[in-house]
């Protein structure tokens, strides 16, 4: 079967993979067997068949990112995972002078909104400014001072396509005694990621974009050495070491990352996402990336260099090309006429080619742009 047949194809040329990846063709069958049929026919109740879904989701993520399944906690999205993490931060006054949370002006706004809630616990929020170079490790060395408690590192910037050297930044943070929190929403599924190699403290991500896993299946990953320090406030019975103990006077945090879970979880998003993650692993994230770079290079080489907003070097760019033609309205109209699906942000057009996009499609896009 061709790669194209593994995914449902939309009319036109779909380049919105930084937003929502295309649905795997097997998704409806998975929803039927793992959710609806379990609901209808599962005995004694659907949970007998729904419960395994979560462990399978954790295992698929663990294989994808080369780490341990028990370190993942299902979350609805990145923001919810980080909110729960923040609810477990100690008051800033108890950190021996480390009372700063470092974020960037180019983090995804929702993530910035969440991180700024740390002000309620006495933290000062410092921003890496738009004009500071996040690709240069010296920027991070300067900013990661002895006053910083935690740093939010966005692996792939949504608005510029910049790919931050996470492994180096995490290493600087570690040397400085700063907790590293990495957002991989824009890179999971298109950039090969190895948590064992990175050694971050916390990672948050979702499956809706390049992993083609649909909305609602986010995750929080917490390193083993730091997990015990966290006692989140936002919890539920699924955060308990033994959810079925049912003793209202004895809440005990789960030993694993599941302490960040909550009340009765949704099931369908994780069943769907697990199937998508496995499909993406079979295809190989490395192959997705090579194909993505091949198609991006065609566009970069064809367009005037002055149009390019994202980095020209492949190793500094996410899966998204941001281009800003001077005759923006005209080019936008031509792309729309060709039925290209893309979006327009302040800095330019975002074009994100996945494994199912073809060189022929990209040639058409280039012709329409010039
Ligand atoms: C870098 C980044 N982080 C996070 C998100 C989404 O966060 P959430 O899953 O909380 O909606 C996006 C969405 O585009 C993003 O680009």
Distance between CA atoms of 164 and 310, rounded to whole angstroms? 12
- Ligand 1 pocket check for 206: Cβ under 6 Å: yes
Phi-psi region of 203 (alpha: psi -120 to 50; beta: other; left: phi over 0): beta
Q: What are phi and psi of 245, to 5 degrees?
A: -70, -35
Q: What is the mean pLDDT of residues 6-13?
A: 91
Best residue among 17, 110, 184 to mutate for probing ligand 1, ranked by most atoms within 8 Å of CB: 110
Best residue among 77, 104, 108 to mutate for probing ligand 1, ranked by most atoms within 8 Å of CB: 108
Q: Give tens-digit pLDDT for 28-80.
A: 999 999 999 999 999 999 999 999 999 999 999 999 999 999 999 999 999 99
Best residue among 134, 155, 186, 203 to mutate for probing ligand 1, ranked by most atoms within 8 Å of CB: 186
- Ligand 1 pocket check for 78: Cβ under 6 Å: yes
Closest CA to 191 of 211, 206, 173, 172: 211
Q: How far is the CA of 48 from the centre of ligand 1 (A)?
A: 32
- Band the pLDDT of 125: cuts 50, 70, 90: very high
For the chain, domains (ranges, CATH) are 32-281 (3.40.640.10), 284-369 (3.90.1150.10)
Residue partners of 301: CB distance under 8 A and separation at least 6: none
Best residue among 18, 105, 183, 184 to mutate for probing ligand 1, ranked by most atoms within 8 Å of CB: 183
Buried b (16+ CB within 10 A) or exposed e, 232-265: beebeebbbeeeeeeeeeeeebbebbbbbbbeeb
Q: How far is the CA of 29 from the centre of ligand 1 (A)?
A: 28
- Band the pLDDT of 10: cuts 50, 70, 90: confident
Q: What are phi and psi of 70, to 5 degrees?
A: -70, -10
Q: How far is the CA of 250 from the centre of ligand 1 (A)?
A: 35
Closest CA to 285 of 200, 191, 208: 191
Closest CA to 233 of 256, 196, 260, 206: 260
Whether 70 and 256 have beta carbons less than 8 Å apart is answered as yes
Q: How far is the CA of 204 from the centre of ligand 1 (A)?
A: 10
Q: How far is the CA of 111 from the centre of ligand 1 (A)?
A: 7
- Nearest atom of ligand 1 to the alpha carbon of 156: 1
- Nearest atom of ligand 1 to the alpha carbon of 114: 10
pLDDT at 1 over 80: no
Q: How far is the CA of 245 from the centre of ligand 1 (A)?
A: 35
Q: What is the mean pLDDT of residues 14-33?
A: 98
Q: Is 65 helix (H, G, I), strand (E, B) or coil?
A: helix
Most distant CA atoms of the chain, gap in Å:
68
Percent of the chain with pLDDT over 70: 100
pLDDT score, position 187: 98
Q: 0.85 exceeded by the pTM?
A: yes
- Ligand 1 pocket check for 256: Cβ under 6 Å: no
- Ligand 1 pocket check for 210: Cβ under 6 Å: no
Q: How far is the CA of 166 from the centre of ligand 1 (A)?
A: 17
- Ligand 1 pocket check for 73: Cβ under 6 Å: no
């Amino acid at each position: 079967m061709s790669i194209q047949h593994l995914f449902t194809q939309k009319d036109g040329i779909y380049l919105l993979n930084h937003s929502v990846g295309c649905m795997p063709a097997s998704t409806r069958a998975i929803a039927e067997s793992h959710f609806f049929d379990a609901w209808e026919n599962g005995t004694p109740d659907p949970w007998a068949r729904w419960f395994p879904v979560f462990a399978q989701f954790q295992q698929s993520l663990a294989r994808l990112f080369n780490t341990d399944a028990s370190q993942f906690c299902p979350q609805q999205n990145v923001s919810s995972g980080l909110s729960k993490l923040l609810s477990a931060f100690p008051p800033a006054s108890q950190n021996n002078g480390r009372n700063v949370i470092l974020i960037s002006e180019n983090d995804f706004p929702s993530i910035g909104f969440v991180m700024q809630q740390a002000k309620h616990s006495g933290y000062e929020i410092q921003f890496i400014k738009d004009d500071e170079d996040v690709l240069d490790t010296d920027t991070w060395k300067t900013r990661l001072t002895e006053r910083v408690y935690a740093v939010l590192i966005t692996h792939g910037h949504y608005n510029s396509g910049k790919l931050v050297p996470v492994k180096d930044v995490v290493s600087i943070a570690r040397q400085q005694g700063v907790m590293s929190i990495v957002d991989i929403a824009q890179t999971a599924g298109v950039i090969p990621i190895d948590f064992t190699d990175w050694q971050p403290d916390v990672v948050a991500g979702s499956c809706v974009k390049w992993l083609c896993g649909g909305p609602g299946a986010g995750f929080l990953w917490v390193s083993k050495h730091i997990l015990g320090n966290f006692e989140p406030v936002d919890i539920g019975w699924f955060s308990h070491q033994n959810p079925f103990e049912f003793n209202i006077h004895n809440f005990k945090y789960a030993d694993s990352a599941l302490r960040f879970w909550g009340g009765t979880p949704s099931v369908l998003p994780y069943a769907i996402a697990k199937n998508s993650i496995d499909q993406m692993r079979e295809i190989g994230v490395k192959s997705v990336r090579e194909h993505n770079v091949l198609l991006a290079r065609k566009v970069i080489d064809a367009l005037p260099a002055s149009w390019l907003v994202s980095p020209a070097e492949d190793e500094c760019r996410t899966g998204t090309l941001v281009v800003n033609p001077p005759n923006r309205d005209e080019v936008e109209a031509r792309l729309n006429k060709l039925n290209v699906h893309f979006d327009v942000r302040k800095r330019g057009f975002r074009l994100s080619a996945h494994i199912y996009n073809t060189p022929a499609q990209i040639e058409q896009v280039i012709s329409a742009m010039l």
